[in-house]
Amino acid sequence: MRRPRHRRPRQFIAACKLLGAEAEVVALADAFEDRAKRLNDTYKLPATKVFVGYDAYQKVMATDCAFVLMATPPAFRPVHFAAAVAAGKHCFVEKPVAVDPVGARAIIATGEEARNKGLAVVAGTQRRHDASYMKNKALIDAGAIGALRGGVVQWNGTVPWIRRRAKDDTDADYMNRNWLNFTELSGDHIVEQHIHNVDVAIWFLGRPPVSALGFGGRARRETGNMFDFFSVDYDFGDGVRIHSQCRQITGTSGRVGEFFTGATGSCFGAGKMFGQKQVDIPAIKLDTDDSMVQEHVDLIRGAYNGKPVNDARQNR
């Protein structure tokens, strides 16, 4: 049901080691047998613990695992998350957590169920677990560049990958193997990729936008039904506007990042500040420089110290 993301189990295992714990991979699941077997080449589980099919997630939830890592096509995330919380699992829910408002509201509702059960939930918005971003967020909150008045967030790059249709693929199988390139399954690349940068704007400003006006187009994409580019003006109220720009066109120059202008200065999302006032902030102390490992550290630590993280709703 997904393009295998082998890095997620590896990052979880690395996080356990940092915390002095030993991780055990209990089960693997994928809609497609070849992908499940390929993933199991690394973990060497018995065949009875490698589940295949669109209902394979249900068999994972029936095991005694404590944590579930979800990296399937995003359209399935609300269903899988609901099943995991119902089964009492702590969850890593890879971004995007949904592809439409219905799915997003379902995630929020399930997140409240997880909170009531004391379950930890971390989404894949790893910039929130990155020391450089955390430092600039703290400096902005302390008034280093004054109140934010505007900015730009960008993810301009190439098409990450394409899966060609095999001769015997059904429509459903082809779309799920090539899920990144279909809006119904990925949410398009604002949601699937550029959300990292948009999330930084929401996090730094401490609130979601009140409206958005934009356009996009498709000129060179070879597969699927997604657009190649978008330009969106996000209105955060109080005269604050953030321009969002993203593009996936192979062979073009790229830029990924964020830049914000405050009342008295400006800064990159995770970089240099200009016109900065001297302010004091607490030291940022993390377990690792790898934000994609740190987010798992925060997931695991919260699950066991009685203070579970809950990222099911990140609107500030």
Structure confidence at residue 251 (pLDDT) = 87
Hey, what's the torsion of the CAs at 130, 131, 134, 135, to 10 degrees?
Answer: -160
Closest CA to 236 of 200, 277, 268: 200
Residue-wise pLDDT tens digits, 164-212:
999 999 999 999 999 999 999 999 999 999 999 999 999 999 999 999 9
Strand partners of residue 23: none
- Which CATH number is 7-126+289-304's, of 3.40.630.10, 1.10.8.10, 3.40.50.720, 1.10.10.60? 3.40.50.720
Residue 310 DSSP class: B
CA distance linking residue 261 with residue 140, whole number of Å: 11
**CATH topology for 143-274?**
Dihydrodipicolinate Reductase; domain 2 (3.30.360)
Q: Which residues pair with 90 in a beta bridge?
A: 67
pLDDT digits (tens, 9 = 90+) for 65-107: 999 999 999 999 999 999 999 999 999 999 999 999 999 999 9
Write the pLDDT tens digit of every residue in 267-294: 999 999 999 999 999 999 999 999 999 9
pTM score, whole prediction: 0.95
Name the one residue in this structure whose structure tokens are 């400096």.
139
User: Percentage of the chain surpassing pLDDT 90?
Assistant: 95
Give me the sign of the Cα torsion angle 286, 8, 114, 89: negative
**Cα distance between residue 241 and residue 184, in whole Å:** 28
The full set of domain ranges for the chain reads: 7-126+289-304, 143-274
